[in-house]
Amino acid sequence: MSTAENTPSADTRKLEDPTGPGTDATPVTPEEQPLSSRNENRSQRPDSAAFKAFMSSDWAAKGTELPAEAEVAPYAAQRRLKVSRQFPGERLVIPAGPLKIRSNDTDYRFRPHSGFAHLTGLGLDHEPDAVLVMEPTAEGKGDDGGNHHATLYFRELAGRDSAEFYANARYGEFWIGSRLSRAEVRALLSLETADLADLEAAITKDAGAVEIGGLRIRLLREVDLNSDALVDTSRINTGVDLEASDELDAKLAEALSELRLIKDEWEIEQMRKAVEATVNGFHEVVKELPRAISHPRGERVVEGAFFARAREEGNDLGYDTIAASGNNATILHWIRNNGQVDADDLLLLDAGVEADSLYTADITRTLPVSGKYSEIQRKVYQAVLDAADAGFAAAKVGVKFREVHAAAVAVLAERLDEWGFLPVPLEEALSPEGQHHRRWMPHGTSHHLGMDVHDCAQAKRELYLDGILTEGMVFTIEPGLYFKDEDLAVPEEYRGIGVRIEDDILMTSDGPVNLSSALPRNPKDVEAWMAGIFSPTGE
């Protein structure tokens, strides 16, 4: 926003406090100005008494009506209750995390840690630096008959009569807009709230080694360095074994991850909303394909079209979009998205909208840019579709999670064998000692899905990979085949073709439900769907 008229020369630039307004009173030389304050040189906020007095006056009073309880509140309370029952007599500390710097003094949009968001119900951009503390009570005397009383500690915005209101670019309401008060959060989430300034005492009081009567703390680590330091300092000061504590903390992270393996009704509805918004994003991409073909960075056109719809209908992307055309589709995590989109190529689009609740979809379709699959493209695509259908058929309550993958890759191995690509007999390739077919599909077929695109990642192997499919689980089925340009193990006509089909699956007592079924999968249906949106060839 600066101009030549209001940018002072270096020798007259004014000193500013990084947490408050600057001063117009005393010019300083660059050598006199502390390095820590130099980011404020651009702002040039006045520091006169008249300015401060005027900025603190004549603001309309804020409303006093409190919001109704949010729909998520009772569900979040039940999640806290489940955690409480696992750790009786222990203080649990779950931070949201701080703002993260993007560059210099600009931050990314805030997203809380998924474990924190899951236990509180706070989504969107609430609340940087917040910490949920679950204080132990007598058994069964806590919230909802649990073993803890939960309190959310967070930084409430300063009043409009304070300097922070207009002077603090990171937390001042003038800069970042209004936020909920403690009373509003308490009403919205039915959760006790307290000032962040009281956090240190809440975490450290009576803490110490259990064997000498102290209270054990479990911390969700590596989310907020301040919380880590606070808890570790308390442990050091009270003689608690740090290595043993790290193991206890890991068990809390594990428990919070495993808690999300089974989604409640509210979570499932959020997943449906995220999927619906994602389907709309795919529709938007197909509309933009003619422009993508004509643009030197057509993949960026695709990425931008999806992102615009994601921001319009949700909170953000659930992960960086993979918009991969041609040989780029054989690069599993291609997110540069700086390539051209040619009419004869396949476009592998792997994308998901993150809803305001922070639940995300994760869908992949491989589309013929021209609107029609070539014979060889269709052949590869059909093999992947058959593998996806086999994985879907294998998904049943009571079956191990890993069986979905086994069913899908078996189909791919059979096709690769039919095409003459395997260097050994099919049985040998499928054996644990073989796995030659995995050259063309090295990733897994499924992962859990929810607040994180790869949700429940800290769950124990016996509950995840070796876990039993259970009603309420949400996961992907996403087989693929990837034949790189430089792959001399396949005929030339296959090279440069990458195909993945990914759907979001809800496990019910009646079997799997494809939440993303509104997005066509059958090649004929894909072509018809695309033809109904655009005609890139002009036909």
Indicate the pTM of the whole model: 0.91
Taking Cα atoms as reference points, which of 316, 249, 246, 250 lies closest to residue 277?
316
CATH 3.90.230.10 domain residues, the chain: 265-531
State the DSSP code for 519: S
Q: Distance (Å, rounded) from C-alpha 260 to C-alpha 270?
A: 14
pLDDT at 267: 98
Q: 140 and 148 in contact (C-beta within 8 Å)?
A: no
Q: Work out the percent of the chain whose per-residue pLDDT is above 70.
A: 93
Categorize the per-residue pLDDT at 402 as very low, low, confident or very high, splitting at 50, 70 and 90: very high
Give me the residue label for tokens 């690069």.
Answer: 331
Greater confidence, 165 or 94?
A: 94
Query: CATH number for the 73-259 domain, one of 3.30.420.240, 3.40.350.10, 3.40.50.2000, 1.10.10.60?
Result: 3.40.350.10
Q: Distance (Å, rounded) from C-alpha 199 to C-alpha 528?
A: 58
Q: Does 183 score more than 70 pLDDT? A: yes
Q: Work out the percent of the chain whose per-residue pLDDT is above 90.
A: 82
Mean pLDDT of the chain: 92
Query: Other CB atoms closer than 10 Å to residue 326's CB: what's the count?
Result: 21
Categorize the per-residue pLDDT at 30 as very low, low, confident or very high, splitting at 50, 70 and 90: low
pLDDT in tens, 286-312: 999 999 999 999 999 999 999 999 999
pLDDT in tens, 229-267: 999 999 999 999 999 999 999 999 999 999 999 999 999
Taking Cα atoms as reference points, which of 317, 316, 323, 418 lies closest to residue 366?
323
Q: 257 and 263 in contact (C-beta within 8 Å)?
A: no
> What number does CATH give the domain 265-531?
3.90.230.10
pLDDT at 15: 28
Query: Other CB atoms closer than 10 Å to residue 412's CB: what's the count?
Result: 22
Q: Does 205 score more than 60 pLDDT? A: yes
pLDDT in tens, 94-128: 999 999 999 988 999 999 999 999 999 998 777 89
pLDDT in tens, 454-481: 999 999 999 999 999 999 999 999 999 9
Categorize the per-residue pLDDT at 63 as very low, low, confident or very high, splitting at 50, 70 and 90: confident
CATH 3.40.350.10 domain residues, the chain: 73-259
pLDDT at 34: 87
Q: 537 and 343 in contact (C-beta within 8 Å)?
A: yes
Residue 289, sorted as left (phi over 0), alpha (psi -120 to 50) or beta, turns out to be: alpha
pLDDT at 29: 57
pLDDT in tens, 424-459: 999 999 999 999 999 999 999 999 999 999 999 999
Q: Among 2-16, 117-131, 267-281, whose mean pLDDT is lowest?
A: 2-16
pLDDT at 62: 86
pLDDT in tens, 339-381: 999 999 999 999 999 999 999 999 999 999 999 999 999 999 9
- For the segment 412-417, the average pLDDT, to the nearest whole number, is 98
Q: Rg of the chain over CA atoms, in angstroms?
A: 27
- For the segment 515-523, the average pLDDT, to the nearest whole number, is 98
pLDDT at 9: 33
Q: Does 13 score more than 50 pLDDT? A: no
